[in-house]
Amino acid sequence: MASLNKVFLIGRLGADPEIRSTTDGTIVATFRIATTEVWRDKNNVKQERTEWHTIIAWRRLGEITRDYLKKGRLVYIEGRIQSREYETKDGTKRRVTEIIANDLRLFPQGPSTIEDRKEVIQEKTEDVFVPEVEEDDIPL
């Protein structure tokens, strides 16, 4: 039977990406994005849970990350889950799960909160000229 390891995420960067180069000059970018699930509990109280995902972007995706991604930027990531183990300086073994990106899409930059969006809409509509039209002027 075939298997599938595919992840699709849309979220905001929690910090600026960390950019490194391998010894042969290959760009590697590491960053974390947040995805938030919102629901209402049985008492109709709004609940939220945020998950943080570590993304690894190699080569061209690393370059795009370096050039365009900053803290707060909304991004679409497509990739695969990969786990690895490492040992800390004090000898403790750790296991991490990361997303290895194979596609990355930037969303247009703009207001990030509803309040910011309302301000932009208000600013855009303040200067709109709406002519007064009499009912008799409308052809039927």
CA atoms of 62 and 101, how far apart (whole Å): 9
- Average model confidence (pLDDT) across the chain: 86
Q: Tell me 138's DSSP state.
A: S
Half-sphere exposure (CA, 13 Å, Cβ side) for 45?
2
Question: What's the confidence (pLDDT) of residue 1?
Answer: 80
* pLDDT at position 98 over 80: yes
List phi, psi (to 5°) of 48.
Answer: -140, 145
CATH 2.40.50.140 correct for 7-110 = yes
CA atoms of 29 and 11, how far apart (whole Å): 16
Question: What's the confidence (pLDDT) of residue 132?
Answer: 60
Please give the model's pTM, rounded to 2 decimal places: 0.72
Angle at 72 between CA 68 and CA 73, to 5 degrees: 35
Judge contact between 65 and 56, C-beta under 8 A: no
